Structure 1
Amino acid sequence: MSETIGSASLLARAEELIDRAVKAGADAADAVVVRGRSRSVSVRLGKVEGTEASESDDFSLRVFVGKRVASVSANPGFDLQLLAERAVAMAKASPEDPFASLADPADLASTWPDLELFDATDVSSDELTEAALAMEAAALAVAGVTNSSGAGASAGMGGLVLATSHGFSGAYSATRFGRSVSVIAGEGTGMERDYDYDSRLYFADLRDAGDIGRTAGERAVKRIGPRQVPTMKDVTVVFDPRMARGIAGHIAGAINGASVARKTSFLRDKMGKQVLKTGLRVTDDPLVVRGSSSRPFDGEGVTGKRLDMIEDGVLNHWFLSTSTANELGLHTNGRGVRGGTAVSPACTNLALEPGDMAPEDLIRSVGTGFYVTELIGQGVNMVTGEYSRGASGFWIENGELAYPVSEVTIASNLADMFMRITPASDIDRKFGVAAPTLAIEGMTLAGK
């Protein structure tokens, strides 16, 4: 995989597209190319089930005529002049948008750091197949594992090429390598499934395929013979790191400026107020070297900086792009992300920062409670904060994981949950949304 394949020619084409749009009557414009290259292999029961490969360079042009804006998309072989003229004609016929604009020229990045996002390692389909087969074989070798749901390995690259009429011109690429496996333990109606995976920017940083497979198999076997527990209130629920990342994701969604502007966040009136338990901190940093969601500049050419989104439990910032910031009467903080022809704010490397307690000590301190390893369903209302999810995991008794539990529902309100979080120390920052094991008091558990 080469980071530089076509980048210069794509950037030149984007810059020419901007020139043509301005000559066609646009007051301002930006052009973006979202790049994608991927290769993947899936296997099941020792046989290759599928191989896939894809390449794409998706162009989009956004033009402004006064307060009117329009966006169009095209494949690489398009006619520059026709696309520019079409976009301008569409903008002239569009209703005014008082908030849409390019980023202020003063905010545009002129230089940016090398974040080491690109690994030139070329991984062949044979190597991907070998890793997938090794994961599955290691999982099936675990005593009690009876079947496989499949394993897969992938390698890919994504990137952004951006040019604006305000003078910004830049490009970057990031690689991604992944491995995953899912297996079944037990027989008949007593079958249980679990999985494991890893995803990294650098191939050499991936966990060993055999280790991923063994972990998936061991997790599935531990779930055999689950019990139901009675319905009860005021239960302390402990979320393992895989599930805890979902809680951190809910925090990110609730402090997204677009949700605040649409009034679809239950935290929309909480700026400057306490939203998490005292002492807790949520950070977001787009400039982490080799960070999973790092970027030298955002989808509008603005370089963001590390922010304490929530400090000592108090909300300090929304995630903002230029248009969202305009709507809220604020200033962008470089969190704009391209999605098709639109720009919207999103987090980068988000972390719900860890505490001091080892996860084993946190579980021990709970005494009696529920340790969640899987969540089911989409029962989260971000407007009201109401939270209700099917769950399975392990019952905590005398400070230890005692036996597997399934077919229960955990419920509360995110606003209350956020104020009752106790984090452990076991955070893995190699994920774009990172969180340690989390204990949340006062939840309702609906069982038998």
Structure 2
Amino acid sequence: MTDTPETLCHALLDAARKAGADAADAMAAEGSSLSIEVRDGALEHAERSEGVDIGLRVFVGKRQAQVSSSDTRAETIQAMAERAVAMAKEAPEDPFAGLADPHQLAQGWDLAAFEMADPTAEPAPDALQQDALAAEAACAAIDGITQVQSAAAGYGRHDIHLAASNGFSGGYARTSRSISCVGIAGTGTGMERDHDGDSRSFQADLRAAEEIGRTAGLRAIERIGARRPKTGSYPVLFDERISSSLIGHLLSAANGAAIARGSSWLKDSLGQQVLPETLSVIEDPFRPRMPGSRPFDGEGLATRRRAIIENGVLTGWVMDLASARKLGLESTANAARGIGSVPSPSNWNIALTQGDKSRADLLRDMGTGLLVTSMIGSTINPNTGDYSRGAAGFWVENGEITHPVNEVTIAGNLLEMLKKIIPGNDARTYLSRVVPSLLVEGMTLAGE
């Protein structure tokens, strides 16, 4: 009988006990993925992977070690456990390391309510290729497109299980289905590119390949003739495509590991106003069909819905067990981990309160400034929140888009920027991060 992720986890725990571990947890993931790329109407690249990965974390007193492998033979599992215990005995003591107490563990979840795995059959390679070809053709058909750089479709399924010597054992399956396309417009030094894509847990929710290709093409031709704007101080509208990055910076600063290190520009902001009082940031790990949904975290604790920011006020940190212990607090069940890594704090599904204005309303209100649709690079000072990023998008005069813009750097301070953001009402509610377009007044633009 073939070993399942669950049986592999318990075999790892048994081996850890025999090797002398005081406590241990184990993860196993069995998965497959298929990706298809096309170019000029023909198949360019096809890749399929299947495999099982296993990971073991052991504790010897307050010392811990982590090992992983893709070999699931019994002798390998035994060797992994012995090696991990030997490593842990040589590791420095960590007073905050350790498993959850049994009373902290998740119990009795309804996995079906999460709808994490599409029950329909895996798509055939030909079906993925047809989607990629349809996206490519739709992009190429846009007048002004000189080349479709890439068009791809993919599918993946992973069955994951986590078990620990404190009594926890749980697992789930996830599926993903995706289509993407990148179009190039113009020629020579005037070439511009843009993209579109979609990724869903369920095939039935995926946007049409033709729509994705057409959108990629239209976005690319809109960028032809881009030039640098004048240096100065202007309002900046972060398009919904990239606005979640601002909230991402905020959440990174609220990460318990960063707070415990003292390297966060939010470290003194608990209970303070960090967003306008009309805005909240809600974390919800229970949304069906979302990649950020899960019944338990990477340490077996029950996830929960909460307001990380409520009416503009920062209510708490994002913590796993170790960071919570360092801060003298309780874990918020935000531990994420890979097969070969120890847990660390991360966020699940996030939503920012939407406003009552459309993107067109925000453009009108901003008058003259920059609409940002793509960003490159990132320089964020973790201690001060000083912010600087390369950007491209469109110049706005008197509330109207006049021409595309590139090679501009936008700068400010996140503490000041976030307190005065004005949200639109255009967030895509089917994403894991639901964040609308955001208008920020008075940012510094470095252009010509």
Q: TM-score, normalised by structure 1?
A: 0.95
Quote how far apart the aligned CAs of 1:228 are. 2.6
Q: For residues 411-426 of structure 1, what are the structure 2 equivalents within 5 Å?
A: 411-426=411-426
Q: Which residue of the partner structure matches residue 176 of structure 2?
A: 176
Identity of aligned residues (%): 49
Q: Which residue of the partner structure matches residue 165 of structure 2?
A: 165
RMSD, matched Cα: 1.6
Q: Which amino acid aligns with 1:196?
A: D
Q: Which amino acid aligns with 1:160?
A: I
Q: Work out the CA distance in 2 between the residues paired with 1:394 and 1:86.
A: 56
Q: Which amino acid aligns with 1:277?
A: P
SS in 1 for 2:243: helix
Quote how far apart the aligned CAs of 1:20 are. 2.9
Quote how far apart the aligned CAs of 1:367 are. 1.6
After alignment, is 173-182 or 157-166 more displaced? 157-166
Taking structure 1 as reference, are residues 276 and 91 closer, same or farther at Cα in structure 2, changes over 3 Å only? same
- Is 1:70 equivalent to 2:69 in the alignment? no
Quote how far apart the aligned CAs of 1:377 are. 1.6
After alignment, is 377-386 or 210-219 more displaced? 377-386
Quote how far apart the aligned CAs of 1:262 are. 2.0
Q: For residues 122-137 of structure 1, what are the structure 2 equivalents within 5 Å?
A: 122-137=122-137
8 A Cα contact 1:248 1:351, kept in partner: no
Q: Which amino acid aligns with 1:207?
A: R
Quote how far apart the aligned CAs of 1:431 are. 2.2
8 A Cα contact 2:5 2:29, kept in partner: no
Q: Work out the CA distance in 1 between the residues paired with 2:385 and 2:125.
A: 44
Q: Work out the CA distance in 2 between the residues paired with 1:78 and 1:383.
A: 48
Q: Work out the CA distance in 2 between the residues paired with 1:376 and 1:310.
A: 27
Q: Work out the CA distance in 2 between the residues paired with 1:188 and 1:82.
A: 57
Quote how far apart the aligned CAs of 1:263 are. 2.2
8 A Cα contact 1:135 1:213, kept in partner: yes
List alignment gaps of at least 5 residues for structure 1.
none
Q: Work out the CA distance in 2 between the residues paired with 1:171 and 1:292.
A: 15
Taking structure 1 as reference, are residues 260 and 36 closer, same or farther at Cα in structure 2, changes over 3 Å only? farther
Q: Which residue of the partner structure matches residue 245 of structure 1?
A: 244
Q: Which residue of the partner structure matches residue 440 of structure 1?
A: 440
Taking structure 1 as reference, are residues 35 and 318 closer, same or farther at Cα in structure 2, changes over 3 Å only? farther
Quote how far apart the aligned CAs of 1:78 are. 4.9
Q: 2:101 aligns with which of 94, 98, 104?
A: 104
Q: Which residue of the partner structure matches residue 151 of structure 2?
A: 151
Q: Which amino acid aligns with 1:97?
A: D
- Is 1:88 equivalent to 2:82 in the alignment? no
Quote how far apart the aligned CAs of 1:46 are. 1.5
Q: Work out the CA distance in 1 between the residues paired with 2:420 and 2:342.
A: 36
Q: For residues 5-44 of structure 1, what are the structure 2 equivalents within 5 Å?
A: 9-44=4-39
Q: Work out the CA distance in 2 between the residues paired with 1:96 and 1:85.
A: 19
8 A Cα contact 1:248 1:433, kept in partner: no
CA deviation string 1:107-159 (max 9, x = no partner)? 11121122010003311111111111110110110111111111111000234
Matched pairs, number: 442
Q: TM-score, normalised by structure 2?
A: 0.95
Quote how far apart the aligned CAs of 1:24 are. 2.9
After alignment, is 276-285 or 376-385 more displaced? 376-385
SS in 1 for 2:394: strand
SS in 2 for 1:378: strand
Q: Which residue of the partner structure matches residue 368 of structure 2?
A: 368
Q: Which residue of the partner structure matches residue 336 of structure 1?
A: 335
SS in 1 for 2:301: coil
Q: Work out the CA distance in 1 between the residues paired with 2:50 and 2:331.
A: 32
Q: Which residue of the partner structure matches residue 396 of structure 2?
A: 396
SS in 1 for 2:87: helix
